[in-house]
Amino acid sequence: MISMSVHTSEQLQRISSEAEMGNGQRPGSGQKKSGRRNQKDPLFHIVKRTDIPMWKSLLIRAGALIAALVVCAVIIVVITGEDPFEMYKHMFNGSFKTPKKFWGMLQEMAILLCISLAVTPAFKMRFWNIGAEGQVLMGGLGALMAMKLLGDDGLRLPNAVVLPMTIITAILFGALWAVVPAIFKAQWNTNETLFTLMMNYIAIQIVRYIQIVWSGGSTALRPINGTGSDPSYAGWLRLPAQIDPSFTGSVVVPSSSGYLLNILIVAALTVMVFLYMRYTKQGYELSVVGESENTARYGGISVKKVIIRTMLISGVLCGIAGLLIVAGTDHIINDGSAKGYGYTAIIVSWLAKFNPFYMVLTTFLVIFLKQGASELSTRTSGVITDDFSNILIAIIILFIIGCEFFINYQIKVRARQQKSKEAAES
């Protein structure tokens, strides 16, 4: 009776293991004793690893990437009938074909990295801030309002006044949007996830409203302070064209900005966030709060203060990201200016285990895929749509995240176990 009931639960396990592994090719399965055992023992066991050498984890990650590309290739062939290598070439070209594309990729990386840096201290503190999207939008709105109200359309103040004001309002708006949920969390222990999410919707609606009011209802917005007969470019965040290699046009005073300044600012922020998190007292405090609020209180850390301060820093960085988008590249704003990066940044930060330098790599991965996907859909002119590219991106990211399982766990196949058992018996 006992063996019967054991059987049922094991059957389930065996079915699942056999489905994955393919069955019936093990050596020695013909023997009577091990034949009985085969019926009872599952085919493999999952065992947690205690540590893994660096090379092995890199190998697993590389393997995951290759496996992802193979799976994508199969899907491309099956669904579209296109040559997968041609597809991958297009994807690669999306970021590397021309200097313009390359700079474009770096610029996108800068924005996404900046937002990822922004969410990192909060997440390290286990404050689930999913409101980066709104904080970035508000930062951008702050920049735009300063540029509009103080610039060509408003008071016509000189750039020396407009630019600092643009920077300050952007940071203030971003910080405000982040600190409100932090205060509520610290004082009344509200749920920060819902709160920050709601703040996103408010930010989006505010931006829409202002966009409509200021554009007089038309959707085609002109770059602020960049059009007309004698544009002042007040509040534009850029380096002179002569020293910025990312200008690809031939105009000396171009109507678009270069990307170098954005990239330099984010590079500096990356180092600063790294140092802040690892070497400052405040960085230490936020790690302790993230680990356990009780330990923090025990250590004499004011949890409320740390929550508010850390979210303030998050908000400032989001404000800077908004500034880089509006004053640095777009010079306009709409409700999609943050491009959903406020959410993508969470994945980037998490994948990099909150290490700012690893985040450069994960940012690269995400942006490279994104650029490649959009290149793919334009090159194949309709055969592969944006949606299809997104499927490919999703598959690749799934594999990369999924391979963490194999880094943390080990699969032990029974065949090998049995051999060692038999060796021990004889």
Positions that interact with another protein (CB under 8 A): 2-3, 5-6, 9-10, 13, 40-42, 45, 48-51, 279-285, 287-288, 291-292, 294-295, 297-302, 412, 417, 420-421, 424
Residue 93 buriedness (CB in 10 A; 0-12 / 13-18 / 19+): middle
| 289, 301 Cβ separation under 8 angstroms | yes
Residue 230 buriedness (CB in 10 A; 0-12 / 13-18 / 19+): exposed
Round to whole Å and give the CA distance between 189 and 182: 9
Least Å distance between CB 14 and another protein? Answer: 10
Of residues 38 and 377, the one with the C-beta less far from another protein: 38
Least Å distance between CB 56 and another protein? Answer: 12
Least Å distance between CB 124 and another protein? Answer: 10
Of residues 36 and 208, the one with the C-beta less far from another protein: 36
Of residues 167 and 301, the one with the C-beta less far from another protein: 301
Least Å distance between CB 388 and another protein? Answer: 41
Least Å distance between CB 248 and another protein? Answer: 42
Least Å distance between CB 165 and another protein? Answer: 28
Round to whole Å and give the CA distance between 237 and 262: 8
Of residues 245 and 299, the one with the C-beta less far from another protein: 299
| DSSP label of 31 | S
Displacement of CA 288 from its chain's centroid (Å): 24
Of residues 33 and 97, the one with the C-beta less far from another protein: 33
Of residues 48 and 381, the one with the C-beta less far from another protein: 48
Q: Is the dihedral of CA 386, 322, 354, 340 positive or negative?
A: negative
3-state SS string over 220-259?
CCCCCCCCCCCCCCCCCCCCCCCCCCCCCCCCCCCCCCCC
Of residues 14 and 370, the one with the C-beta less far from another protein: 14
Of residues 13 and 232, the one with the C-beta less far from another protein: 13
Round to whole Å and give the CA distance between 54 and 129: 31
Identify the H or E element spanning 47.
strand 44-48
Least Å distance between CB 1 and another protein? Answer: 9
Round to whole Å and give the CA distance between 357 and 273: 10
Of residues 13 and 215, the one with the C-beta less far from another protein: 13
What is each CA distance from 404 to 59, 352, 359, 363, in whole angstroms? 12, 12, 16, 18
Of residues 160 and 424, the one with the C-beta less far from another protein: 424
What is each CA distance from 241 to 231, 246, 248, 250, 251, in whole angstroms? 16, 8, 9, 9, 9
| 130, 347 Cβ separation under 8 angstroms | no
Least Å distance between CB 420 and another protein? Answer: 7
Least Å distance between CB 2 and another protein? Answer: 6
Least Å distance between CB 321 and another protein? Answer: 24
Q: Are strands 44-48 and 409-413 parallel, antiparallel or unpaired?
A: antiparallel
* Greatest C-alpha distance within the chain: 94
SS3 192: helix
